[in-house]
Homo-oligomer: A and B are copies of this chain.
């Protein structure tokens, strides 16, 4: 990283060679030598010529050799170029899509869909699958119920969509009687039914308050309680579900116990992974982190292929696959893509 000469664009030949090299390395897991590339490379060049090109590629930082007399392996930068410019994604077979559709059938509850998606990803790729829980402030409010716990503590129950239940303990600034709570709940249920939590949080509440200027005490109470209920207390308890982590234990490049430990600790901590996944929320389509690009040491040698999933143009979350940098991107990418689409579809509320 001290100096980086080769910012001249790669020649056609160099690109083709890099592509072949990455493919071969992904397939065999062995450093690829000049000899091996003479055969199937498509180009009719001698090993010596290939060596020249490979020397250039090495200088430009796309490949490196583990030691003098081994072949070359791609660097993170090499993989990046490969993924961005050289990769032609396999179309998934129709069979896959049907198969997936069955296993990601709509009509089940959110949690089990997320679980299925995660398992699906890991099962199909033989890597680890991750799925963030869908953002919850998107669902349509169906019913609001309050239950007094003690003087000033109320258990609020919020029913969303089909059958999703959220509950939350809120503290009020004054005591409310059960009857009062009942009224408030009726009022809010009526008023907010069909709106999303996000909508309510994003201003509906203020609008009501401004418009009607507390025409009666019921409204005042309702708004006070609702404000507590919908307060965004920063506790956006994002979470994700991971499946098939143990698949990662079979890869030679991760087989040192220390690396595995580091990686699994990152899984357990959740924070780093979440942060990484959150970065994918903004861009849509498939996105890829390669090795150290993520900035986390535990991700050395590991890649992450992600996609957002959405329904009705609302981005709900991120899902993806974690595997060794040396993974079959051309096979994994469409799987992630399709799974994201199907999960989005299965989560569609009006289904």
Interface residues of A (CB under 8 A from B): 142-143, 145, 147, 149, 155, 157, 159, 162-163, 165, 167, 169, 243-246, 249-250, 255, 257, 260-261, 264-265, 268
From A264, which residue of chain B is reached at the shortest CB distance?
A: B246
Q: A257 near B249 (CB under 8 angstroms)?
A: yes
CB closest chain-B residue, reference A155: B163
Q: Is the CB of A268 within 8 A of B249?
A: no
- Cβ distance A247 to chain B, nearest Cβ, rounded Å: 9
Given contacts A250-B261, A264-B246, contact A165 B165 (CB under 8 A): yes
Residue of B nearest to A249 (CB): B261
27 contacts between A and B (CB under 8 A): A142-B147, A143-B147, A145-B157, A147-B159, A149-B163, A155-B159, A155-B163, A157-B157, A157-B159, A157-B165, A163-B167, A243-B268, A244-B268, A245-B264, A245-B268, A246-B261, A246-B264, A246-B265, A246-B268, A249-B257, A249-B260, A249-B261, A249-B264, A250-B257, A255-B257, A257-B257, A260-B260
Question: Chain B residues near A163 (CB, 8 Å)?
Answer: 149, 155, 167, 169
Write out the residue numbers on chain B whose beta carbons fall within 8 Å of the beta carbon of A167: 163, 165
Collect the chain B residues with CB atoms within 8 Å of residue A265's CB: 246
Sample of 13 more A-B contacts, CB < 8 Å, known A155-B165, A165-B165: A149-B163, A155-B159, A157-B157, A157-B165, A163-B167, A165-B167, A245-B264, A246-B261, A246-B265, A249-B260, A249-B261, A250-B261, A255-B257
Q: How far is the CB of A144 from chain B (nearest CB, A)?
A: 11
Q: How many copies does the complex hold?
A: 2
- Expressed in whole angstroms, the Cα–Cα distance for A2 and B308 within the complex equals 59
Q: Which residue of B lies closest to A159 (CB)?
A: B147
B residues near A243, Cβ cutoff 8 Å: 268
A123 to B165 CA separation, bound complex (whole angstroms): 33
CB distance from A30 to the nearest CB of B (A): 20
Bound-state Cα–Cα, A145 to B144, Å: 11
How long is the Cα–Cα vector from A8 to B250 in the complex, in angstroms?
A: 46
Q: Which residues of B contact A249 (CB under 8 A)?
A: 257, 260-261, 264
Could you tell me the distance between the alpha carbons of A149 and B109 in the complex, rounded to whole angstroms?
13
- Specify which of A243, A244, A246, A255 lies most central, judged by the most chain B CB atoms within 10 Å of its CB: A246
Q: Which residues of B contact A244 (CB under 8 A)?
A: 268
Q: Residues of B contacting A260 with CB < 8 Å?
A: 249, 257, 260
Give the Cβ gap from A252 to chain B, nearest Cβ, in Å.
Answer: 10
